[in-house]
Chain A
């Protein structure tokens, strides 16, 4: 900033504008790269899980596949179907990308200083800006003049709208703990040890974490909730008629969304980039910690996609309204009662968080044990019989 004002003779206002442009471009580049790499990683992991190769031709291990895809889609002929509402049809990709990208403004890529903007209403902004995607999807379904698209768009809107309630309500719990709506304060309210993370503070925040993760899977249209794109019934859902680069934009928004699920879960529930005291503020380490956690969550999201079958639409709606919403309410009220009690007996906070973390660890150990047993039972040599 001083460099710009002193050597180039800019006023402070224009220096701010230039810095803002540079920061936003860098973050956009990270977003685009991550969504491309996620699409590659998803295909590789899917291949691994289904005993086949993923894309492994372009570049080392096929990592440049997404570049090839983008170039191919730019060169594709762009078709607008007969009878489509041409204006709505054309502006829809913009809305979808905007809704996904604008969320990135309040999410940190590293420590608190590495947020594009630490808004004082960060969480509220995060909840509200994701709704733009719903409008985009509805418009895509409506303007294509296609029966599949219309059904897919309607379903998608109903789904995203239903899951927005549990997600917004489960976010109340971290806000209760931090006492602030700013994402930076939410980061600061957590420590670097696992039992200092919001997710393991109390049983109620663990419940909220669970609801938030399931809800954001559904909001990102990921399997097991990918009904809008149910290939077996709706061809490709709301983007059936889209081709060429317009389709690529939807694709980019979808995979960018996986990145955002990882980022938001990490920042709000899993301790974010917090480091132990003597390393606090080290920019490289905090980026590394943040990205490691994010990539792990992204892996879990992809893993779920290739493990679980798709829900039926009535099961999907039931899950949101009859299970997740009451769970989120219980989490909110439970956490407020807990805080009232903890104000009288401060020692209870520490004990509860460690107990919750130990219970979580036991569940994980049980889970790994089950995988090992299944693996042993199945590994009968095939070639011998």
Chain B
């Protein structure tokens, strides 16, 4: 089993090595004459104003936050799912089902709350935002 996990590292090393070697070969044979116009940030031909790193919308944060909660939930669901068949065969199936259902239900309440508050709506209209 240890060797099987080592395979992953070999794979990652091959990926890194492939990109690195090709870039080095490229560096030796490709032309390299930069100029200010070439290095300019591409904005459809306009001269860019200000830095490219700007403020972005809060909702990206909200989406990621809901994601983290659900990802942790799924991480807890995986082990139960993997042994569910054995549990059924040994007679504890209903118990396991009720437990995992309660667990998901608790998080589902949070999900329904986020939904009802409009946390899942990407575009919120002005009227409902003023009321909430």
A binding-site residues for B, Cβ under 8 Å: 16, 20-21, 23-25, 27-28, 32, 74-83, 93-94, 97-98, 101-102, 104-105, 116-120, 123-125, 127, 142, 144-151, 154, 157-158, 161-162, 164-165, 168-169, 172, 175-181, 235, 240-241, 244-246, 249, 313-314, 316-318, 321-322, 325, 329, 332-333, 336-337, 339-340, 343
The distance from the CB of A163 to the nearest CB of chain B, in whole angstroms, is 10
- Contact indicator B64/A25 (Cβ below 8 Å): no
The distance from the CB of B120 to the nearest CB of chain A, in whole angstroms, is 5
The distance from the CB of A320 to the nearest CB of chain B, in whole angstroms, is 9
- Contact indicator B26/A74 (Cβ below 8 Å): yes
Closest to B1 in A: A120
Chain B residues within an 8 Å CB radius of A77? 30-33, 38
- Contact indicator B63/A162 (Cβ below 8 Å): yes
The distance from the CB of B11 to the nearest CB of chain A, in whole angstroms, is 5
Cβ of B6 < 8 Å from any Cβ of A?
yes
On whether A24 and B10 interact (CB within 8 A), knowing A314-B121, A318-B120, the answer reads yes
- Contact indicator A81/B41 (Cβ below 8 Å): yes
Number of A-B contacts (CB under 8 A): 207
The distance from the CB of A200 to the nearest CB of chain B, in whole angstroms, is 19
The residues in B between 66 and 82 inclusive whose CB is less than 8 angstroms from any CB of A are 66-67, 70-71, 74, 77-78, 81-82
9 A-B pairs in the complex with CB atoms less than 8 angstroms apart: A27-B11, A101-B11, A102-B8, A102-B11, A158-B63, A162-B67, A179-B85, A240-B42, A343-B93
Chain A residues within an 8 Å CB radius of B100? 336
* Additional 17 contacts, C-beta under 8 A, given A117-B7, A127-B74, A150-B56: A20-B3, A20-B6, A82-B36, A82-B40, A94-B19, A145-B52, A149-B52, A169-B74, A172-B77, A176-B85, A179-B84, A314-B121, A318-B121, A322-B120, A333-B104, A339-B93, A340-B93
- Contact indicator B6/A172 (Cβ below 8 Å): no
- Picked from A27, A98, A172, A179, the residue with its CB within 8 Å of the CB of B86 is A179
**Chain B: interface secondary structure?**
helix
Cβ of B101 < 8 Å from any Cβ of A?
yes
The distance from the CB of A87 to the nearest CB of chain B, in whole angstroms, is 14
Assembly CA distance A325 to B74 (angstroms): 12
Chain B: residues with Cβ within 8 Å of the partner, total of 72
Chain A residues within an 8 Å CB radius of B81? 172, 175-176, 332
Chain B residues within an 8 Å CB radius of A23? 7
- Contact indicator A146/B41 (Cβ below 8 Å): yes
The distance from the CB of A379 to the nearest CB of chain B, in whole angstroms, is 41
Task: Name the residue among A123, A175, A316, A332 with the largest chain B CB count within 10 angstroms.
Answer: A175
Chain A residues within an 8 Å CB radius of B115? 321-322
Assembly CA distance A375 to B18 (angstroms): 47
- 3 interchain residue pairs of minimum CB distance: A179-B85, A314-B122, A117-B4
Chain A residues within an 8 Å CB radius of B26? 74-75, 78, 244-245
Closest to B27 in A: A78
Cβ of B51 < 8 Å from any Cβ of A?
yes
Cβ of B127 < 8 Å from any Cβ of A?
no
